[in-house]
C-alpha cells in the first residue's frame, strides 16, 4: 500500500522520484497564479477524481473479458484511493467532504454526460485520456497551495498510476483493428476539448471567451502530454 | 490503511478482535466439509467480490446526493480492496487472476443481472444485503482452507466493513417513508433466495434439488444475520 501522506523533499532541479510525466519533472512553468483557496481546490479535485473513478468502474462492469475486468478493476482501485486521499485532505482542513464538493457537481456531471463513450472502447479511451489530463492538471495547479498541503496533494497524484494499466488494455483492443483505431482517434480528438474546459473552469477562466496568456504555456504542455498518450496507442491526435 | 495480510491468532472461544458478526465469533458450526480447493475458493470468492464492488460502484454513480455519493464511494473502496486482496492471494498461490475467476463468471454475472435493482434504493439495499450475506458466507467457507491461507482470507473478510456505511444511507432514505420501506422489504425478501443460490453453488449443491443437511445449520445462521440486517433498517424480513 502506498503511504499517501509520505512527505517528499521540496522540489529541486533533479528529477523527482516518481514524476507523473517528464514534463512535470522538468518544467519551470506552473499555475501558481491560478491556484484557488485550499477548500476550493480540494472540493473540485476530489469530485473530479470521483467522476474519473465512476467512469473507470463503468469500464469494469462492461469489460469484454475477465482479464480486462481484473486489470481495470485495479485501475479503479487506484483511482478511488486518490479520491479518498483528497477527501481526507478536506476533512483534515476542517471541511465536510460532500459540502466541499457540492459547488462543482453540476459542471463535472455535465462533463461526464457529454463525454460518455458509445461503447466499452470509447469509455476506456475516455478514462485513459481524461484521467491522464486532469490528474496532470490538478498536480500542476497544486503548486500554489500552502506548502504542507501542496506536498501531500502532489504525493497523492504522483502515487500509483492508472495509465499503464489502461494503455495496455487499449493497445490489446486496437492491435490489428484499424477500423476501431480510426474511430478511437476521432473520439480522442473530441474528448480533449471538453477536458480542457474542465481544467479552464478550475482556473476561473470559463466563459471569458479567450484563454489567459499566463496559463497557455501549461496548456500547451498538457496537450503535448495528451498527444503522447494518443501516440502510445498508435492513434493520431 | 489496513494491513490485509496481518496474521491473526487461531480461533479460540473468546470473541475475535473484529468479528463480522456475533454469530461468526461464537459459532461452532462451520463449512469445512465443503471448502473447495484453494484455487477454486479464491477464484470464485474474488469474482463474487468484484461483482459486489461493481454493484456498489453503480450505487455511487446513481446516488441522489453528493453526501450519499461520498459515503458509498468509501464503501466501494473497501469492497474493491477486498477483491484485490483475494486476487493477490490467487497470484501468491501461483495462479492467474483472470483464469482463476473465469469458471465462475457466467453464474455470478447471471446473479448480478437478475438481482439488479429498479432504482438507486433497490440497488443500495441489494449491495447491503448481498455483500453482508456473501462475505459472511465466504469467511465461513474459508475454514477448510490450508491454515496460512485460511488466516489470510479470514483477515481479508474481517477487515474494514462496508455494512455500517450502507446501513446509514439506507436508514436515511427509509426514514419517514413507509411506502419506500414497504417496497424495499419486498425486494429484500426476493434477494435472499437468489443470494443463497450463489452460496449453495459454491458448496457444489446447485442442481441437487435438496439442501445438504450438513450445511443447513450454517445457512440458518446466515439467514438469521440477514434478518438482523433487515431489522436494523426497520424492514420485515
**How far is it, in rounded angstroms, from Cα B60 to Cα A101?**
14
Chain A CB contacts of B80 under 8 Å are 73, 76-77, 80
| DSSP character at residue B142 | G
pLDDT in tens, A133-163: 999 999 999 999 999 999 999 999 998 899 9
pLDDT in tens, B155-174: 999 988 999 999 999 999 99
In contact, B158 and B135? CB cutoff 8 Å: no
Name the grid cell of B149. Answer: 491461507
Minimal CA separation from B48 to chain A, in Å: 12
A205 vs A135, which has greater pLDDT? A135
A73 and B65: CB-CB below 8 Å? no
Averaged pLDDT for residues A6-30: 45
From chain A residues 43-102, the ones with a CB under 8 A of any chain B CB are 47, 50, 53-54, 57-58, 60-61, 65-67, 69-70, 73-74, 76-77, 80-81, 83-84, 87, 97-98, 101-102
Mean pLDDT rounded to a whole number for chain A: 87
By CA distance, what is B57's nearest residue in A? A57
Banded pLDDT at A209 (limits 50, 70, 90): low
**A114 contacts: CB under 8 Å, gap ≥ 6:** A194
pLDDT of B32 reads 86
Give me the total of CB pairs closer than 8 Å, taking one residue from chain A and one from chain B.
81
Averaged pLDDT for residues A178-189: 96
In contact, A129 and A228? CB cutoff 8 Å: no
Task: Answer positive or negative: Cα dihedral of B145, B148, B154, B157.
Answer: negative
Least confident of A62-76, A107-121, B6-20: B6-20
Q: pTM for this structure? A: 0.85
B209 phi, psi to nearest 5 deg: 85, -35
B80 and A84: CB-CB below 8 Å? no
Chain B CB contacts of A105 under 8 Å are 66
Averaged pLDDT for residues A95-109: 97
pLDDT of B204 reads 81
**How far is it, in rounded angstroms, from Cα B55 to Cα B171?**
19
B87 and A67: CB-CB below 8 Å? no
Banded pLDDT at A179 (limits 50, 70, 90): very high
Averaged pLDDT for residues A173-193: 94
The number of beta carbons lying within 10 Å of the beta carbon of residue A145 is: 21
pLDDT of B209 reads 52
In contact, B97 and B194? CB cutoff 8 Å: no
Q: Which residues of chain B have pLDDT under 70?
A: 1-29, 206-211
Minimal CA separation from A73 to chain B, in Å: 7
Q: Is the pLDDT of residue A203 over 80?
A: yes
Domain boundaries, chain A: 30-232
ipTM, two decimals, is 0.82
Q: Does domain B33-232 have CATH number 3.40.190.10?
A: no
Minimal CA separation from B67 to chain A, in Å: 5
Minimal CA separation from B174 to chain A, in Å: 20
B172 touches chain A (CB under 8 A): no
User: Considering just the CA atoms, what is the radius of gyration of chain A in Å?
Assistant: 17
**How far is it, in rounded angstroms, from Cα B134 to Cα B45?**
9
Task: State the burial class of residue A119 (Cβ atoms within 10 Å of its Cβ: 0-12, 13-18, 19+).
Answer: exposed
The number of beta carbons lying within 10 Å of the beta carbon of residue B229 is: 25
Q: Is residue B178 helix, strand or coil?
A: helix
The superfamily in CATH containing domain A30-232 is: Ferritin, core subunit, four-helix bundle (1.20.1260.10)
Chain B CB contacts of A91 under 8 Å are none
Amino acid at each position: 500500500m502506498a503511504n499517501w501522506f509520505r512527505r517528499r523533499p521540496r522540489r529541486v532541479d533533479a528529477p523527482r522520484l516518481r514524476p507523473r510525466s517528464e514534463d512535470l519533472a522538468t518544467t519551470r512553468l506552473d499555475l501558481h497564479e491560478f491556484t484557488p483557496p485550499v477548500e476550493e481546490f480540494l472540493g473540485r479535485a476530489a469530485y473530479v477524481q470521483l467522476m474519473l473513478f465512476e467512469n473507470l468502474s463503468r469500464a469494469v462492469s462492461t469489460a469484454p473479458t475477465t482479464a480486462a475486468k481484473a486489470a481495470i478493476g485495479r485501475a479503479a482501485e487506484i483511482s478511488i484511493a486518490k479520491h479518498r486521499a483528497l477527501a481526507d485532505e478536506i476533512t483534515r482542513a476542517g471541511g465536510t467532504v460532500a459540502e466541499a464538493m457540492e459547488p462543482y457537481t453540476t459542471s463535472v456531471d455535465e462533463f461526464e454526460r457529454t463525454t460518455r463513450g458509445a461503447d466499452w472502447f470509447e469509455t476506456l479511451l475516455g478514462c485513459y485520456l481524461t484521467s491522464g489530463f486532469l490528474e496532470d492538471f490538478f498536480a500542476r495547479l497544486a503548486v500554489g497551495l500552502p506548502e504542507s498541503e501542496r506536498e501531500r496533494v502532489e504525493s497523492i497524484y504522483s502515487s500509483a498510476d492508472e495509465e499503464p494499466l489502461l494503455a495496455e488494455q487499449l493497445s490489446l483492443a486496437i492491435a490489428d483493428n484499424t477500423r476501431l483505431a480510426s474511430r478511437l482517434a476521432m473520439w480522442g480528438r473530441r474528448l480533449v476539448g471538453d477536458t480542457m474546459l474542465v481544467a479552464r473552469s478550475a482556473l476561473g477562466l470559463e466563459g471569458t471567451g479567450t484563454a489567459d496568456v499566463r496559463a497557455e504555456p501549461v496548456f500547451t504542455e498538457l496537450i503535448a502530454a495528451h498527444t503522447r498518450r494518443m501516440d502510445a496507442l498508435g492513434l493520431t491526435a
